[in-house]
Amino acid sequence: MNLFKAIGFKLISALLFAAMSALVRHLGDVAPVGQMVFFRSAFAIPPVLLIYALRGELASALRTSRPFGQLGRGLLSVGGMFSNFSALTRLPLADATAISFASPLITVALAAVILKERVRVYRWTAVLVGFAGVIVMLIPHFDVNHYVAAGAATAATIGSILALVSAFCNAGTVIQTRRLTQSETTSSIVFYFSLVTAIAGALTLPFAWHTPSGSELAALISLGVLGGIAHIFLTESYRHATASVVAPFDYSAMLWALLLGYFVFGELPSALVYLGGAIVAGAGLFVIWRERQLGLQRAREAEGPRAPS
């Protein structure tokens, strides 16, 4: 284990993903979501392939024994990326980021249902508390009077729903990734994720295309480059420490989102978003802490009783 590298890489990946989200927020007024998805995915492939080529792992990145499993994960990622980008065009950056924190808690529930993992009362309690936090965050974005009178939700309401859909899709992606890692390499999972989402984004281009200016084109390309490099740093962080050590630093994304939202877009979340985000983060951190304790307990049981000295 190298904690310094693991935590450093995780913090860098969270910052890069936050910067990518800020670019989506910036481009949302001019570029269609499908176009942003295409650039995010297509321009993530070159840095990923370059890194794996330098490592001599390019062949393993292209090789797969489960193409339909890769396709299924890619389609879940398509749903997550489209809904996430659509949410970012309608919500403040910090709000969308805070709602996305529900994803690890949804993963716990899906793992119990789909993977038949044993989920104890502690984790179910954390999931319920976390969802209560999500509801707290959603309160400011639901104008019931407007909904009843106009028969349609506001942009913020739609954005909140899309952010929650993205959290569900991302949780499904995690479950599918767990299945794939039984036989597939990390490099192939990353490559085929980018390939499937790039194709999905490309399919929308004939129907919705914005001819970008020079600065907009640079921002679109940066979406992919930042996303690809962030994905590499994320993967590397888990090479140097266990998931229970690294995962809590996911929540640093909220700090980056708050700073970028304020200094770039002049956005400040409401008090309920702070409260709900704290509840969700607390529930997620409890799950991580509990998993760490159970892991240590299993390790001690595996070692067996110590011989008397």
Structural domains counted in the chain? 1
Rg for the chain (alpha carbons), in Å?
20
Q: Is residue 196 part of a domain?
A: yes
Q: Is residue 283 part of a domain?
A: yes
CA 225 to chain centre: 16
CA 143 to chain centre: 27
C-alpha distances (whole Å) from 228 to each of 85, 231, 264 are 16, 5, 23
Q: Is residue 280 part of a domain?
A: yes
Q: Is residue 254 part of a domain?
A: yes
User: Domain span at residue 190?
Assistant: 3-303
Q: Is residue 232 part of a domain?
A: yes
Answer for the pair 134, 166: CB distance below 8 angstroms, yes or no: no
Q: What does the chain look like in DSSP terms, one character per residue?
A: --HHHHHHHHHHHHHHHHHHHHHHHHHTTTS-HHHHHHHHHHTTHHHHHHHHHHTT-HHHHH--S-HHHHHHHHHHHHHHHHHHHHHHTTS-HHHHHHHHTTHHHHHHHHHHHTS-----HHHHHHHHHHHHHHHHHHGGG--HHHHHHHSS--HHHHHHHHHHHHHHHHHHHHHHHHHHTTTS-HHHHHHHHHHHHHHHHHHHTTTS-----HHHHHHHHHHHHHHHHHHHHHHHHHHHS-HHHHGGGGGHHHHHHHHHHHHHH-----HHHHHHHHHHHHHHHHHHHHHHHHHHHHHHHHH-SPPP-
Q: Is residue 309 part of a domain?
A: no
- Please give the model's pTM, rounded to 2 decimal places: 0.84
Q: Is residue 117 part of a domain?
A: yes
Q: Please list the pLDDT of the chain residue by residue as tens digits (309 residues).
A: 677 888 888 889 989 999 999 999 999 999 999 999 999 999 999 988 888 888 888 888 888 999 999 999 999 999 999 999 999 998 889 888 888 888 878 888 888 888 777 777 877 888 888 888 888 887 776 655 544 444 445 777 888 899 999 999 988 988 888 888 788 887 888 889 999 999 999 999 999 999 999 999 999 999 999 998 888 888 778 777 766 567 677 778 888 988 898 888 898 888 888 888 888 888 878 877 776 776 667 667 666 655 554
Q: Is residue 308 part of a domain?
A: no
